[in-house]
Structure 1
Amino acid sequence: MLSNDPTAKPHAVCFPSPAQSHITATLKLVKLLHWKGFHITFVNTEFNHRRMVRAKGGPSFLDSLPLDFQFVTISDGLPPSDVNATQDLEAPCESARNLMRAPFADLIGRLNERAGLDPNFPAISCIVSDCLMTFSTIPVGKKFGVPVINYWPISAAVVMCFLQYPELLEKGFTPPKDASSRSSGYLDTVTDWIPGIKNMRLCDFPTFVRNTPADEVLYDLTIDAIKSGEEAVATVIHTFKALEQDVLNALSSLLRKQVYAIGPFSLLLEQIPEKERRAKNIHGNLWEENIECLQWLELKESGSVLYINFGSIAFLSPEQSTEFAMGIANSDHPFLWIIRPDLVSGDNAILAREFAKKTKGRGFMTEWCPQEEVLNRPSVGGFLTHCGWNSTIESLSAGVPMQCWPCFGDQHTNCRFVCNDWEIGLEINNDVKRDEVERLVREMMGGGEKGKKMKERVAERKKLAEEATALCDSSAKDLDRLVNDTLLK
């Protein structure tokens, strides 16, 4: 047990990438560290902190935080904005790489100064850095003599794919030579050298190998993140050994340092005794959550509701939204659909008269929700998802099969494992059509043989996740090892 003396507490400064999914996952990790006795300083950009405060109904929620848990802000270097919507993806990525180091160094300097003046404020003992913030955290950690933990809020398989980017470049697989090569079987090319992963096609890699303008930015960002992350003292990945054992073994050899597989976070947080959950109600959502949907779910039959959420960054065209809407309407299943204000680009065709008529009385639509609570409601029988890693591991942990429509980034890799390796999901074609959506919803939610087998397999994965997060099993042990062997040195 760590000392109750505030000056003796270890102090972790935690810096997520400025995206909703990264903030959510990083906050869960640091709540686990807080449980283990750490003083926490959580760093948000000013833009995201304003959105978080707005989502909580105002700054008063900060008054309820434990004394040893604080939010602080730094500038992201971008033009000021009060828009309550997702930032353009390229802008915060470029600012993370080029503009945030100096503000982060100033913050660490101020925290050190406060530790020297305030007897109740502990000195910084470590920096827990999102993998995409190591451009700032590694140099600043060196400057102040503070060790940095490199945290990947993605699967071990995706980390392995990122490590292959230099070899893909050397072998001539990326970037594609021209637009025609991207549509002539190029993406079906199978790679056979990736440690811990078999039969990986180029289309299964994170999309940054495809060389659109946005991919180029994120490709360069990833390459730089890999190089800078090599100087961290340890690597944490949000996964568990029974799910990705082969890849984790290979990563430990490649990275030549300890890799800690800690997850699923949501299940580890459930291991905290009720009386010790001082940080239980700290959440980092950037949209206000509608909890009325939970009451609506309670009134539905077990396994009857399709939950639909495309995450915090994906966008739909009006045509795509219409095809999804009519496929869902024609499936005849009750549904809970999360529709961010900025989800549909252009005119929003979702609430067409025909859709409203077909779904009257069996649907609930809202802008945001407490996703983990939704997935764990008995009435939820399937999840139509973009296949981001947070959504994937939360659905697996709840034992809910998935219907996958990956958009970009690591979502295609996650989809490949969900649908092919773990066989707990079905993939929707990128060119979404209502007939396919209807057929796959019926297949996943119905009582057919394929749907039954999927539900059996996801129940098995859920059990493995629960076992990994039990107090004496792999993820719980890796959390303790991270704390005792690395962070408290």
Structure 2
Amino acid sequence: MLKLAELLSHAGLRVTFVNTDNIHRRFLASSPALQRLAGLPQFRFRTIPDGLPEDHPRPFLEFLDLDESLRTRSRVHYRELLVPTAPDPDGWPSVTCVVADGMLRLASEVAADMEIPVIFVRTSGACAVWAYLCIPDLIEGGVIPFPEEEDGLDETIRGLPGMEGFLRRRDLPSFCRNAKSTSDRSLLFVTKANSNVRRGRGLILNTFESLEGPVLSHIRSTIPNIYALGPLHLLSRAFGDCGADVPFFSNSVSLWQEDRSCLKWLGSQPQRSVVYISFGSVTIMSRDELMEFWHGLVDSGKRFLWVVRPDLVEGKIEEAIQELEKETRERGCIVGWAPQEEVLAHPAVGCFLTHSGWNSTLESVAAGVPMICWPFFADQQVNSRFVGEVWRIGLDMKDKRGRSVVERMVREVMEGERAEELRRSAGEMAEHARRSVEEECEEILNSGSWFVDGQLLVVESLVTNFILGVNMVWRMVI
């Protein structure tokens, strides 16, 4: 969302990015990009409380509780941002449009109350968005909840146009397999979010036609105004070449402090020899699972760079990390967090063992790096199936565990005939991503502008377990 916000700012738009107090403090502590963005002439940050006590852990997997707190305790603060009771201290004009995360009800509900138009943004790929949009139909058709007496997670799904030949029960968003009735809290939440998205003026997705064209066509059957603006991280790099008056800088923003020493380590490794492992910012695993991954990596005989967050493992992890670091110094590197875009673009990296979050998936696609997918929850289940079965640029390790599985899949992606095939497919997809960005830049240069008909907006986005927002002059996307 910050990449989108900075792009819009450099296109001449006013941008106010709205964080909760809690996440803004964490960003300030770990991400120097925020200070740089705040220094731009038409960019500002604002914060609102999330309604939870200061010492609340705010676990991501309890997002529905956080969402409810935001809707019931932060509404007044958010309303004041949209329609202030006093003149704006910076002299900015009034908000006339809201761009809201499709899963964040606070942003769209308050805007609707104030009769402010809403454009939605979904941070998932089109394949997962379409699966989410079809969930009410799957409930009505009796597909969800799954029959209790059956285990058949490999049974293909009917009633999901465009995906009926290959999407299985186990590939639906993770909460579908946990739902025991149609009144399940997660199912009700998604159904409500789907209704909101369909009422918006449009939908922005971080994807591109060459990757998800067929799925985008299905979404357009219910939401005609879709803007596929991705890959945003590539577009942000290319923005300076698209005639921007102000130099554009890549903005790596994270809740964790990046350890850039791993780039020096990568520089000493042979080309395509390193397996990069990162399970994102919210995946949690047991200590046994951590050790099985480690044994599988060591047994594969491959070099590896592994991101092990301080909260990756349930319980205390210090001793486990010390043990891993001691045993992997010979051909491995372990860091708490890595500059992922730079790592994936490094010639030493030959494979990405990932949780299949959409940002990670799209960054790997753009870098041409084959993936091994071990999804954790939500849209990651859908993404991993598309990586392995549709785009054929990686392997899906969903629901599989054990060192022997890890070893076998690492070897399959890193060596032999299958590795060559995956690298070739991944390289072709990366070329499609590059061409997509080039075409957007060419259109911008030919038109002389990204947008027409200026309006002011607020963009609200769910990032990890908090909300973010942007308030900007909006000129409808060409």
TMscore range, shorter length: 0.7 to 0.9
Tell me if the contact between 1:39 and 1:122 (Cα under 8 Å) persists in the aligned partners.
no
1:258 partnered with 2:225? yes
Return the match for 1:49 from 5, 8, 24. 24
When normalised by structure 1's length, the TM-score is 0.84
In the alignment, the residues of structure 2 paired with residue 106 and residue 40 of structure 1 have an alpha-carbon distance, to the nearest angstrom, of 17
In the alignment, the residues of structure 2 paired with residue 321 and residue 344 of structure 1 have an alpha-carbon distance, to the nearest angstrom, of 7
The change in CA–CA distance for 1:85 and 1:287 in structure 2 (over 3 A counts) is farther
Residues 62-106 of structure 1: CA distance to partner in whole angstroms, max 9, x if unpaired? 686212111111111112237698674443243345444332112
Equivalent residue number for residue 471 of structure 2: none
Tell me if the contact between 2:198 and 2:222 (Cα under 8 Å) persists in the aligned partners.
no
Tell me if the contact between 1:86 and 1:312 (Cα under 8 Å) persists in the aligned partners.
no
Q: How does 1:24-423 map to 2 (within 5 A)?
A: 26-56=1-31, 61=35, 65-81=39-55, 88-110=62-84, 113-115=86-88, 118-119=90-91, 121-133=92-104, 135-178=105-148, 180-181=149-150, 184-185=151-152, 187-199=153-165, 200-211=167-178, 216-255=184-223, 257-273=224-240, 276=245, 280=249, 282-348=251-317, 350-351=320-321, 353=323, 355-356=324-325, 358-423=327-392
Aligned AA (2:475): L
1:433 partnered with 2:402? yes
In the alignment, the residues of structure 2 paired with residue 405 and residue 317 of structure 1 have an alpha-carbon distance, to the nearest angstrom, of 14
In the alignment, the residues of structure 2 paired with residue 137 and residue 208 of structure 1 have an alpha-carbon distance, to the nearest angstrom, of 23
Mean CA deviation greater in 63-72 or 80-89: 80-89
Aligned AA (1:488): R
In the alignment, the residues of structure 2 paired with residue 259 and residue 482 of structure 1 have an alpha-carbon distance, to the nearest angstrom, of 16
The change in CA–CA distance for 1:103 and 1:300 in structure 2 (over 3 A counts) is same
Residues 259-284 of structure 1: CA distance to partner in whole angstroms, max 9, x if unpaired? 11110001111221177455625443
Tell me if the contact between 1:96 and 1:132 (Cα under 8 Å) persists in the aligned partners.
no
When normalised by structure 2's length, the TM-score is 0.86
In the alignment, the residues of structure 2 paired with residue 66 and residue 398 of structure 1 have an alpha-carbon distance, to the nearest angstrom, of 29
In the alignment, the residues of structure 2 paired with residue 288 and residue 84 of structure 1 have an alpha-carbon distance, to the nearest angstrom, of 19
Residues 372-397 of structure 1: CA distance to partner in whole angstroms, max 9, x if unpaired? 11111111111000001110000000
Secondary structure of 1:190's partner?
coil
Q: Relative CO higher for 1 or 2, CA cutoff 8 Å, sep ≥ 6?
A: 2
Tell me if the contact between 2:145 and 2:179 (Cα under 8 Å) persists in the aligned partners.
no
The change in CA–CA distance for 1:481 and 1:54 in structure 2 (over 3 A counts) is same
Residues 458-486 of structure 1: CA distance to partner in whole angstroms, max 9, x if unpaired? 00000001111114479979x99984379
Higher helix share: 1
Tell me if the contact between 2:3 and 2:251 (Cα under 8 Å) persists in the aligned partners.
no
Tell me if the contact between 2:239 and 2:248 (Cα under 8 Å) persists in the aligned partners.
no
Residues 398-420 of structure 1: CA distance to partner in whole angstroms, max 9, x if unpaired? 01000110111111100000001
Tell me if the contact between 1:288 and 1:368 (Cα under 8 Å) persists in the aligned partners.
yes
Secondary structure of 2:69's partner?
helix
Equivalent residue number for residue 469 of structure 2: none
Secondary structure of 2:364's partner?
helix
The change in CA–CA distance for 1:98 and 1:432 in structure 2 (over 3 A counts) is farther
Residues 318-348 of structure 1: CA distance to partner in whole angstroms, max 9, x if unpaired? 1100100111111121111111110000243
Tell me if the contact between 2:238 and 2:441 (Cα under 8 Å) persists in the aligned partners.
no
Secondary structure of 1:196's partner?
coil
| Cα deviation, residue 197, structure 1 | 2.7
In the alignment, the residues of structure 2 paired with residue 212 and residue 352 of structure 1 have an alpha-carbon distance, to the nearest angstrom, of 39
The change in CA–CA distance for 1:470 and 1:38 in structure 2 (over 3 A counts) is same
Mean CA deviation greater in 74-83 or 435-444: 74-83
Residues 230-252 of structure 1: CA distance to partner in whole angstroms, max 9, x if unpaired? 22211111110111111111211
Equivalent residue number for residue 463 of structure 2: none
Mean CA deviation greater in 80-89 or 159-168: 80-89
**Unaligned stretches of 5+ in structure 2?**
456-473
Alignment coverage as a number of residue pairs: 451
Aligned AA (2:366): S
Tell me if the contact between 1:209 and 1:219 (Cα under 8 Å) persists in the aligned partners.
yes
Tell me if the contact between 1:129 and 1:137 (Cα under 8 Å) persists in the aligned partners.
yes
Tell me if the contact between 1:34 and 1:279 (Cα under 8 Å) persists in the aligned partners.
no
In the alignment, the residues of structure 2 paired with residue 104 and residue 308 of structure 1 have an alpha-carbon distance, to the nearest angstrom, of 38
In the alignment, the residues of structure 2 paired with residue 294 and residue 82 of structure 1 have an alpha-carbon distance, to the nearest angstrom, of 35
Aligned AA (1:167): D
Equivalent residue number for residue 22 of structure 1: none
